[in-house]
Structure 1
């Protein structure tokens, strides 16, 4: 007799799916990522996956929104709350986020999937909101916000290539990463 698994609530199942989808999509992108693999990782049927997220695109966008929420909680709010050195506070938080390589990869995958108009709109809104929130911080002007966001994107690319882990072996990596901070 087959062993019955305990039922899982929809919110817990949604969380499990999003975690598995982050892993899959961050490494393989929207088009290369497999919903079959995601369903297997969560130990649910493929049709049940689509009961929670009706389309692959909706699941991909939900993963992006989770990534945006993480950046908002960990970096933007910290900078907005910092009375002194808000950009340095956000840079430190971004440095910690860069250690979550899959987070960096999914953001890049979002930009890469921007040929899809809906995903392009999602990425555009998030990029705009991030820039405008940095720019709105007291004592941060447009040029400072531009430089901060541009450097953050450069470091996102560096993190996706796992350059911080290679700094000890490659002198240019150490110089590259140290020059913009």
Structure 2
């Protein structure tokens, strides 16, 4: 049987493909249990190709953290647009509309907090990352308050932390299985929206 060779991709596309494969590997496993050899297999490249783009597994994990945040930010922005124009929302399960429907980012945060706890560089990156997400969400809350969509007595800083706590809860449920189902998450989402909208 003749081996089919992968087409040679430009460096930027190859790097993106490696990050996508690494997100799958890290997201379905653990930081310590994920290897660059396993990620190389998932990306259909040789392990040296990984090291051409990333000097270490840690740097690749950092790239995954950034990509997971980019994806979550896009989901949040899409949700904000949908909130401003509810007629554009498709008729889907409310739990699946949550930006936390995919708990990949909080899964990565938990890896950074638990499995890589002795790595000060990872700890610093996770701290900065969590703060960046918090600040982004708090700023959105302030904008919605200014537009009258959120009552003025709601604390944007506290609400942003509660948003992040929701992601961690989703991550626990994802990792433990059977903790909370879609009905419970839908109920939590409804209550959060009711509180934030003042209604």
Common topology (TM > 0.5): yes
Match for residue 107 of structure 2 among 97, 105, 108:
105
> Normalising by structure 2, what TM-score?
0.66
Question: What is the CA RMSD across the aligned residues, in angstroms?
Answer: 3.6
Aligned twin of 2:164: 153
1:166 aligned residue (166, 176, 181):
181
Equivalent pairs, count: 170
Using the TM superposition, give the Cα deviation of residue 56 of structure 1 relative to its aligned residue in structure 2, in angstroms. Answer: 0.4
Tell me the secondary structure at the aligned position of residue 98 of structure 2: helix
Whole-angstrom CA distance in 2 between matches of 1:164 and 1:158? 9
- Give the secondary structure class of the aligned counterpart of 2:32: helix
Partner of 1:89: none
Q: CA shift at 1:58, angstroms?
A: 0.3
3-state DSSP of counterpart to 1:13: helix
Report deviation, 1:83.
Answer: 7.9
TM (norm. structure 1) is: 0.72
- The 1:42–1:167 alpha-carbon spacing in structure 2 relative to 1, beyond 3 Å, is closer
Q: Against the structure 1 CA distance between its residues 134 and 7, is the aligned structure 2 distance closer, same or farther, given a 3 Å change threshold?
A: closer
* Cα offset, 1:47, TM superposition: 1.5
Q: Quote the Cα distance in structure 2 between the aligned partners of 1:11 and 1:142.
A: 46
Q: List gaps (5 residues or longer) in structure 2.
A: 86-93, 193-199
Question: Aligned to 2:132, which of 119, 129, 132?
Answer: 129
Residues in 2 aligned to 1:5 and 1:167: alpha-carbon distance in whole angstroms: 39
CA distance in 1, matches of 2:113, 2:190: 25
Shift of 1:42: 1.2
Tell me if structure 1 keeps the 8 A contact 2:103–2:170: yes
Stretches of structure 1 that go unaligned for 5 or more consecutive residues are 85-91
Q: Within 5 Å, give how 1:29-178 maps onto structure 2.
A: 29-75=30-76, 95-112=97-114, 113-136=116-139, 137-138=142-143, 139=145, 144-160=155-171, 161-162=173-174, 166-168=181-183, 173=184, 177=188
Which residue is 2:88 aligned to? none
Q: Per the alignment, do residues 53 and 19 of structure 1 end up closer, same or farther by CA in structure 2, a change over 3 Å counting?
A: same
CA contact (8 A) 1:158 1:164 kept: no
Indicate the residue corresponding to 1:27 in structure 2. 28
C-alpha deviation, 1:67, in angstroms: 1.4
